[in-house]
Amino acid sequence: MPVNPKAKLVEKILDLKSLEQKPTRDGYGLGLVQAGDENPDVAALCADLTESTRTEAFAKKYPERFVEMGVAEQNMASVAAGMSLVGKIPYITSYAMFSPGRNWEQMRTTICYNDANVKIIGSHAGVSVGPDGATHQAIEDIAITRPIPNMRVFAPCDAHEAKKITYAISKVYGPCYARFAREKTPVFTTEETPFEIGKAQVFWMEPGRPSIGGSGQAKPDVAIIACGPLLHNAILAAAELEKEGVTVRVLNAVSIKPMDEETIIQSAKDAGSVVTVEEHQVSGGMGSAVAEVLVKNYPVPMEFIGVQNRFGESGLPNELVDHFGMGVKHIVAAAKRVVTRK
C-alpha cells in the first residue's frame, strides 16, 4: 500500500472500523494546555463556548490566564490584540462562524494590521457540524482569513495534527487562524508524523517512486491536495483509484498560508492534473489558493471538491458531506474527470 512511510501514518489507514475517532477540537484543547505549560504568557479567551471549543482544560488548569468574554466576539478579538501588545500570546476561541466570522474587521485592523500576536481558534468549521444547521456551519472562514496580510491559516486533518498546530503557533510571532471541527473523525496520523508550518507532506505516493523529488521514473496520474478531516476521504479515494489503475499522489495542505508552493508545483508537474478537497466553499478556500499558485507557475487541469456556492443544512455529518459532494465517491469521480482533461 503506497502510504508514504516518511509520513508515519497509522498502519490500518484504510480500515475505518479500526481507526480511533476523535474530533480535531480535542487536539486543540490538548495543544493549548501544552503551549500554556511551556510558556506562561500563553492566555486564552472564550466567548461562552469554553467546553464545546475544548478551551476548558486550559481554563481549569490556568484560571488566572483565562478570560471569559461572554457572547462578544468583536470585543474578544480586540481585547486579545491589546493583551498581546503587553506581551501575552492570547488564543481567542469560539465557533468559526462567529470568530473569525462575526469579528472580521476587528481581526483585520486590530489583530492583523496591528500585527498583534493573537491566535484565532475557529471551532465547528465545515458542514460536519451537522444538526445545528447552516447558521453554525462555517464554510467561508478560509476565504475571509487568507487574504489578510500578516495572517497564517491552518486546517488540521486529525486530532494529532490539531494538537501540533496549536502548539506550533505559540512559537511563531503573529496572527494565526486555525480551524477545527466538532465531529469525530478518523485519527490517522501519529505523534511521529512530521509537521512543519509552510510544508505540505506527501501522505500517499504513487507506486514506483521511492521519494518525492526522486528520479521521476513514475508519475502519478493525478495529485489530490486536501486539508482538514476530508484528507482521510482523499486517501480512501486514492486507494480506490489505484484499484482501478489510476495512480495518485495525496498531499496534506494543512498549511494553507503560508502554502508549500514548491511541493505543490512539483506535484502538478509530475501528475499534470490536480483535485483539491476541502470542507469549505470552493470559492476562496484552499483550492483557490492552490489554483493561484498553479495558474502562475504551472497551470494544469483542476477539479475542486467542496461546497458549491450553497449554504449548509441540518443533518448527520456524513450525510451532509455526501450531500454536498465531498464523499469518497465524489473525489474518485473528480479524479477520473480531471485525468481525461489532461
Partner 1 sequence: MSHLHEDKIKFLEETANTIRQDVIEMVVNAGSGHVAGPLDMADIFTALYFHVLKHDSKNPDWPERDRLVLSNGHICPVRYAAMARAGYFPVEELKTLRKFGTRLQGHPHRTALPGVETTSGPLGSGLSQAVGMAIAAKMDKKSFNIYCLMSDGEQEAGQTWEAAMLAGKLKLDNLTALIDRNNIQIDGMTEDIMPLEPLRQKYEAFNWHVLEINGHNFEEIVNAYETAHAIYEKPVLIIAHTVAGKGVDFMEFQYPWHSKTFKPEEVTESLRQLRTLGGKIKGEHQ
Contact 95, 124 (CB under 8 A): yes
Q: Is 149 in the site for partner 1 (CB under 8 A)?
A: no
Closest among 219, 308, 223 to 265, alpha carbons compared:
223
Phi, psi of 333 (to 5 degrees): -65, -40
- Going by their DSSP bridges, the two strands 152-154 and 66-68 should be labelled as unpaired
Q: Is 53 in the site for partner 1 (CB under 8 A)?
A: no
User: In the complex, what is the shortest distance from the CB of residue 156 to partner 1, in angstroms, rounded to a whole number?
Assistant: 27
User: In the complex, what is the shortest distance from the CB of residue 284 to partner 1, in angstroms, rounded to a whole number?
Assistant: 23
Q: Is 115 in the site for partner 1 (CB under 8 A)?
A: yes
Q: Which of 34, 52, 109, 314 binds partner 1 (CB under 8 A)?
A: 109
Grid cell of 172 as nine digits:
511563531
Amino acid identity, position 261:
E
Closest among 129, 175, 176, 128 to 153, alpha carbons compared:
176
Contacts with partner 1, 173-212, as mask; x by CB under 8 A: ----------------------------------------
* Identity of the residue, 39 or 283, whose beta carbon is nearer to partner 1 in the bound complex: 39
Q: Which of 4, 50, 55, 74 binds partner 1 (CB under 8 A)?
A: 74
Report how many residues bind partner 1 under the rule CB under 8 A.
29
Measured distance CA(277)–CA(335) in Å, rounded: 11
Kindly indicate which of the ranges 59-67, 131-139, 257-265, 332-340 contains the residues binding partner 1, using the contact rule CB under 8 A: 59-67
Q: Which of 4, 24, 55, 84 binds partner 1 (CB under 8 A)?
A: 84
Report the phi/psi class of residue 98: left, alpha or beta, with left for phi > 0 and alpha for psi in -120 to 50. Answer: alpha
- The burial of 64, by beta-carbon neighbours within 10 Å (0-12 exposed, 13-18 middle, 19 or more buried), is given as exposed
Q: Which of 64, 149, 215, 340 binds partner 1 (CB under 8 A)?
A: 64
Residues 11-50 that bind partner 1 (CB under 8 A): 43
* Identity of the residue, 84 or 266, whose beta carbon is nearer to partner 1 in the bound complex: 84
User: In the complex, what is the shortest distance from the CB of residue 267 to partner 1, in angstroms, rounded to a whole number?
Assistant: 36
Q: Which of 3, 49, 59, 83 binds partner 1 (CB under 8 A)?
A: 83
* Identity of the residue, 150 or 283, whose beta carbon is nearer to partner 1 in the bound complex: 150
Q: Is 110 in the site for partner 1 (CB under 8 A)?
A: yes
Report how far Cα 198 is from the mean position of its chain's Cα atoms: 12
Q: Is 79 in the site for partner 1 (CB under 8 A)?
A: yes
Residue carrying the nine cell digits 473525489: 331
CA angle at 252 for the pair 249 and 253, rounded to the nearest 5° = 120
* DSSP state at residue 308: -
Grid cell of 293 as nine digits:
499558485
Secondary structure (3-state) at 37: helix
Q: Is 117 in the site for partner 1 (CB under 8 A)?
A: no
Q: Which of 73, 140, 161, 279 is catalytic?
A: 73
Q: Is 59 in the site for partner 1 (CB under 8 A)?
A: no
Roughly what angle, to the nearest 10 degrees, separates helices 159-168 and 24-38?
30
Q: Is 244 in the site for partner 1 (CB under 8 A)?
A: no
Measured distance CA(172)–CA(263) in Å, rounded: 22
| 64 tagged catalytic | no
Q: Which residues sit at the interface with partner 1, rule CB under 8 A? A: 43, 64-65, 67, 69-70, 72, 74-75, 77-88, 90, 105-106, 109-110, 113-115
Which residues are marked as active site? 73
